[in-house]
Amino acid sequence: MFSNCKRRSGHLDDLMKMCYNYRVKIFKLFNFINILRAMKNMPALRGLMRQECQVMGKNSFLDHILNGIKYMLPCVVAGGILMGAGYMLDDISINPSNYGYNTPIASFFSTTGHAAFEFMLPMLAAFIGCSISGTSAIAAGLAGGYLSSQGNSGFLGALAAGFIAGHTVGILERLLKKLPSTLNDVKTLLLYPLLSVTVMGAFSFALLEPVMGAANGVMGEWLKAMSGTSKILLGIVLGAMTATDMGGPINKTAYLFACVSMSNGQYDAIAAVLAAGIVPPYATALASTIFKGKFTKKQRQNGFANYIIGLAGITEAAIPFLADDPVRVVVSCMIGSGLAGGLSMAFGCSVMAPFGGFFILPLNSNILGFVVSMGSGILTSSLIFGFLKKKAVLEK
């Protein structure tokens, strides 16, 4: 009995093996057919893959910059506001050439703010590099950003330094990956920082300072030479960019340009961007108040919250309205923000603090002009948005 069972079990095993072999052959046949089909469409597939890689490259490039800006902003905001407070609390009549440091309280705020502000470019470069190759690139990024801040390449040099730091460490990781795993700590603590900082220094002196320094100088002279209509036009463009994507890449590009202008001693572009940035949250808030019947209860609640959030000039507060009605929100806010930026330039507004909304109003060189610029933009955007918006669907 047991021998018969064993014999049957052996036949069953042979049968299963035979079925398995045939299944493998059938699978290989279908796989071969699929390969032939794929080869037929290979040029199209290669084109799609190339396009996708290009898109991914563009997105990652921008993501690295935004990562650097994200870590740079705390230094810029804290340092800028403290420096502005130092100027506001000082007495220029004591010594005009030492303005901001004449009185003890002014000197305290100015010195502390300057210390934080000095980290702006090193932090930008360090965290662009960190976004590309991790923490191993921070040392080279800090060195490159510091060299840019002390030389003539400035903001543009720090941007380039961040990418150089990140890709240098990436190349070193590939070159040294065959070293024994016992040397991992040596690579992380010694080889990566030492070699990458050395390479960064060579790039800074040989390339960034001559090239980026010249570009930065040309840009600074161009900004200084701008006057009248050209400055107003620049303010309109920067203002409209600020409201295009509510804190997205286009908004950050306008802010980045204003920061570059600040590094060249031009403070009117940042005033235009800040005036424009306040428009979207207050325009959506005011529209939801004036045209109540066109907004749902939830939208009116978001609008009320924007009255508070907008005090700090946080453009992203308008995103809930943007998500519900993108075309009307973007069109109305771009018009109002462009108007605010242009009027700010026309009134000669300038501010040394790079962020802060209404809280930095006392630091502005033309407080009344700044308020009029913001008010005009907010009123214009809210009216356009309110008239364009369709009546809200009745809530159950």
Q: 95-136: per-residue pLDDT in tens? A: 878 878 899 998 999 899 889 888 988 999 999 999 999 999
- Assess whether pLDDT exceeds 70 at residue 257: yes
Note the pLDDT tens digit of each residue in 22-32.
444 444 444 44
Per-residue pLDDT reduced to its tens digit, 285-343:
999 999 988 888 888 898 898 898 888 788 888 888 888 888 999 999 999 999 999 99
User: If pLDDT is split at 50, 70 and 90, which confidence band does 200 have?
Assistant: very high
pLDDT score of 18 more than 90: no
Q: Mean pLDDT for the chain?
A: 81
Q: Is the pLDDT of residue 45 over 60?
A: no
In terms of pLDDT, which residue wins out, 180 or 224? Answer: 180
Domain residue ranges in the chain: 56-93+100-115, 119-225, 229-388
Q: Could you give the angle at which helices 249-263 and 154-175 cross, rounded to 10 degrees?
A: 120
Q: What is the rounded distance in angstroms from the CA atom of residue 101 to the CA atom of residue 106?
A: 5
Q: Average pLDDT of 349-353?
A: 84
Question: Is residue 360 over pLDDT 50?
Answer: yes
Q: Is the pTM of this model over 0.75?
A: no
What's the confidence (pLDDT) of residue 226? 67
CA distance 96 to 188: 50
Instruction: Enter the tokens of residue 318.
Output: 């308008």
CA separation for the pair 28, 252 (Å, rounded): 52
pLDDT at residue 182 tops 50: yes
Torsion angles phi and psi, residue 265, rounded to 5 = 80, 15
Q: Give the pLDDT band of residue 1 (cuts 50, 70, 90).
A: very low
DSSP state of 252: H
